[in-house]
Structures are given as structure tokens and as C-alpha cells.
Amino acid sequence: MVRETRDQVDWNVLTSPWLDVVGLNATASTSSPLDTLKSASSLRCIVAGSPLDLFAAHRYLLTLLYWKADAAGGLSTMRGALLKGELPQAIVQAIEDESHRFWLFDEEAPFLQDPSIRDKKPKSAGSLFSEIASGSNVSHFFHSEDRNVRLCANCVAVGLLRLVPWSQSGGRGFSPSVHNAPPIVTMAEGENLAITLGLNLVPLGGNAGTARWTGHFTPSNPKWPVPYLEAMTWNPRRIFLSRADTQGVCWRCGRFGVAVVGPIVYEKNDSTKKRADKKDFEWNEPAAFYGPAKPYTPMKSTDEAHASNGADLKWLESVESAPKSAVIESNPGHRGWRLIVPSTNPANNKTFDHRQMVMESVSVDAIKAELRVTKSARPRDTLDGWQQPKRDYAALGAERFVRTAVKLLAPTDWLDLSSAAYREIHESAAAFDVLSGLMWPLRGKVNWLPSRQAAWLTLKVMAAVPVRARTLQSNAPFDPLRLLPKRQPDERRNGRTVSSPYPVAFPRGRRLEAELRVSLDKNMRRRKPEAVDWTSLCYGLSQLMD
């Protein structure tokens, strides 16, 4: 039973230590965002295992600087100081004065949460992370009961800070962030963190607006250009950290004996859906790339095949004439860049293959050198590294085996084989006798006989079909192996056949037998079942199972 101890685990996203940083002397430490800003000149960089978290941490620090820029004499003055490696003390003080806004468990104004939904049914704390299984988001390596997932305060802070840059749509009305699905972004990097912040703190047009650190986020005027502080604190979710415990294990980072949070209230925010006229919100994320044709739709990576060979960045080859990023435009000639490429599929709201590239330059030549775009029209049969076995001379052994079985086996033999369904060779004495009675006489006389396992499985599934289908026909069109899931099964979506980028492992063991049986059964139930190509099945299994 989880005790509600919110007040005992209180924690501040500005002043509690949770950011991993590396000093100029290469020592690693964990620091609060406020201390990180104070010592930005003596820190090399922020580090994070995920490029998404790295960008979210920078976006948060930059938002704080944009927010309080006036305290340092305005944005351009502060940028000038940062580029010299100095962080004006006045701005650190101005930010510190606001530290009461960053408590995670404040009763009235908890950071990036909406206390007005505190009584809604809680969901998995893993909802904050697309890589943690929760609800219908299940394409992951480990699974758990949603109600059991706990996150430490550090990880909750990371999850909340991901909301602005990286929220993606999630079905049932969960809208993406202000710039739509996670965009490809770039960061300029300098010799120390102060310079890095200065490089990325680029001039922004339009109104500053108001930073929204708490409550139900609603755009001040959805039809107008979004003020930049509003865009940088845009919250497409309504969240409340309802339950916490003083001791527990964090499911994300593995720390134990720490204060943990979960389940949490995690709701959609209807106010951040598209504008009533369906147009995009008027906002340009300074780190993202925008082309002239769609001025408010940033460049994205949405196709796994393109992500795997770099084709999702091919448009960058013409960066000087095509989509532009404010960060690149504001730092001409700068050397030292990081490109963060989140890959999300808008069709099913799934996430795959996030990656980052560290580059000296974002010139056309430098990018061309990085991108090794290959034409990989991957043949469908090889998607999981498996070639549909070609029928060559070696299939003659399989053909001879199947032909002999069809010719010699009596109805009682097929009955024995039928009752050996899903059993191993040694688990059914009667069926084993049938198999060895067939195989032994052929050994020595016939080359390229199928393996014992392949022969066993072939006979068992042959026994499962009506006698009339257990015949050997030349050019029989139906081979159940062809229908089994490969790495990319086709999906029917909106009446169209599209290839799903989500892997389905080729089945093994009993699952393979089950898949073959289902496939054969479906064929037999058709009004005009197709003749089964038993030789290809037997030969293919022989290739696959050994």
C-alpha cells in the first residue's frame, strides 16, 4: 500500500540537484538547475543518456533565461555576456527569486501540474515517458502493471520537462506540443555551458507573453502568433502527481531507497488541440527547421526505413536554400553542433530510433559527409534477415519425403500424427514410429532430406488438413510460410495496405506450429481453398529451423 506523503517528499525542479553536469576539469557531478546556471562558466556541459532529455534540460534553462532577460539588460545584452562566457549575476538572482514556482508538490501551484484535476482516476507514472510501457503504449522490452510503476523525483522532473519539446499525439485526443510531433532540432555547442547557452539563446520576434509554470494551460489567443514564453511553457497535458512515497524503486533510473511518485493523474488538454480553423499554431521553435511551404510545420523524421539510412535528413543537404533553423541562422560560421533526431510515427503515435549526431559544422558539405544515404529498397523477404528459401535442387529431398508420406501413410498413421499436435518428437511414441518409419528407409537413398525437426512439423501440420488437401500438386500456390509475420507485416489502415515499421519476430517453437496451423486452417475455410505447396513448406522449414 502506498502512503500519500506528498508533503514529506517535496522537491524543487529549480533548486534540488538532478542535472548531471561535467566540469571543465572533466569531473562529473549532479547539480540543481540554479547551481548549474551559477557555475555555467566553469562547466563543460550538461550530460544525459537520452538526447531528448539533454535537449529538454537546455530548453528549460534557456526558458528561464528568456523569462528573466530583462534583469540582465535585455536579451541581446545577456546573449553578448554569455557568448563571452559570463553569466550576469543579476539574472541568476532574478531566477532564484522565483524558486517558489518550482515545487513539485505545492498544494496550490505545483510545477507544470494542474491541481484542479487532482480527483481524476490516476494512470501509470510511465505515461510521462514514451519508452516506458503504459496503457496502450506497449512496444517495449519490459512490461509491468501500470499501477506499480514508480518514478523518482529526478525522473519525474525530466518527464515533465519533456512535455514542452517532445509531447507527441497519443490517440484519444492527446495532442502533440505547440510545434506538433517531435521535430528534428539542432543545438550549437560552445567551450563551456555559458557559451552554449548564449549560442542557443537566439533573438525571437513577437511578444514575450507570460511563462505558465502551473495550472491548466490554455493559449492566451490561439489565433495569434504564440508569445514565446507561452510557447516555451506550453503544456499539452493536464497532470497531477497525486501519490508519492518516501521510499521506493524508480522504474526508469533504477535508484532505490528514494522518494518515488506514482500513479499520477495524466489527462489530455483539450485547449492545446489544433486551432478551431485546423491551422497550426503560429510558432517557430528556434532549434527546429522550417521550410517556406509550411512555415509552422517543423521538419520531422517519421519513417523508420528512412531513419535507418539517413534519408530522413536528406533535405539538410541543401540547408542553405531549404528549411532553416533560427539557431543556425543566428550563429553563422559556428563550429560545434549537435543534431537531435527523434523518430515518431504519426500514424500510430509510436516512437523508434531516436538518435543524435555531433557535427563540426552544419554546412552543406559537412552534412553531405555525415549522411550516407543508400538506396536500400529492401526486398520484403529479407526484412528480418531471412530469404524466402529458393526452390533449388536441394528441395528435391523435401519433395521426395512429402511424396513418400502422401503415398505410404495410412489413415491411422495420420491420426497418430494428428494427436501429436504441439508435441515434441519424443513425446508421442506412436507418431515417432510413423516419422522414423518414413525417414529411415529414405536415408542413404535420397540426398538433401529435410531435417528431422522440419519433417516432424511438416507431418504434424499435414495431418491437420482434410485428406483431399494432403496431395502433391505441381505449382501449388499456397505456402503458409509466406504468410507468417516477417519483420514488417503489412497492415491495413484506412483501407490501404501499408508496411508497419514495428518488428514482429519470426515465430519459433510452438508458436511457429500454431501460426502454420492457423494459416492452413484459414486457407481450408475459404470457399475455394488453394492447393498447398507442401514441398516448399517442408524445405523452407528445413532451412529455417536449423
Smallest gap, in angstroms, from Cβ of residue 57 to Zn ion?
A: 15
User: Can you read off the three cell numbers belonging to residue 406?
Assistant: 502422401
User: Can you read off the three cell numbers belonging to residue 506?
Assistant: 519470426
Smallest gap, in angstroms, from Cβ of residue 354 to Zn ion?
A: 19
462 vs 414: CA distance, rounded Å:
8
Smallest gap, in angstroms, from Cβ of residue 155 to Zn ion?
A: 3
Closest CB to Zn ion among residues 79, 243: 243
Closest CB to Zn ion among residues 155, 188: 155
Rounded CA Rg of the chain? 30
Smallest gap, in angstroms, from Cβ of residue 343 to Zn ion?
A: 24
Smallest gap, in angstroms, from Cβ of residue 193 to Zn ion?
A: 23
Smallest gap, in angstroms, from Cβ of residue 134 to Zn ion?
A: 15
37 vs 533: CA distance, rounded Å:
70
| Residues of the shown chain interacting with Zn ion in the complex, contacts defined by CB under 5 A | 152, 155, 250, 252-253
Tallying the residues shown for the chain, one arrives at 546
127 vs 135: CA distance, rounded Å:
8
Smallest gap, in angstroms, from Cβ of residue 126 to Zn ion?
A: 12
Half-sphere exposure of 121 (CA within 13 A, CB side): 2
Closest CB to Zn ion among residues 18, 67: 18
Q: How many other CB atoms are there within 10 angstroms of residue 221's CB atom?
A: 10
The strand pairing partners of 341, in sequence order, are: 355
Closest CB to Zn ion among residues 125, 463: 125
Closest CB to Zn ion among residues 151, 299: 151
Smallest gap, in angstroms, from Cβ of residue 158 to Zn ion?
A: 8
User: Can you read off the three cell numbers belonging to residue 61?
Assistant: 534553462
Buried b or exposed e, range 393-406, using 16+ CB within 10 angstroms: ebbbbbbbbbeebe
Element (H, E) at 28: strand 28-31
Closest CB to Zn ion among residues 47, 505: 47
163 vs 404: CA distance, rounded Å:
65
| 220 close to 210: Cβ distance less than 8 angstroms | yes
Smallest gap, in angstroms, from Cβ of residue 156 to Zn ion?
A: 8
Closest CB to Zn ion among residues 243, 252: 252
Closest CB to Zn ion among residues 252, 486: 252
Hey, CA dihedral for 400, 403, 409, 413, is it positive or negative?
positive
Closest CB to Zn ion among residues 88, 159: 159
Residue 83 corresponds to which amino acid?
L
Smallest gap, in angstroms, from Cβ of residue 262 to Zn ion?
A: 11
The packing angle between helices 193-200 and 51-67, to 10°, is 70
450 vs 543: CA distance, rounded Å:
9
CB proximity list for 536: less than 8 A, separation 6 or greater? 389, 391, 395, 398, 479, 481
| 397 close to 449: Cβ distance less than 8 angstroms | yes
Largest CA distance in the chain: 95
Closest CB to Zn ion among residues 149, 465: 149
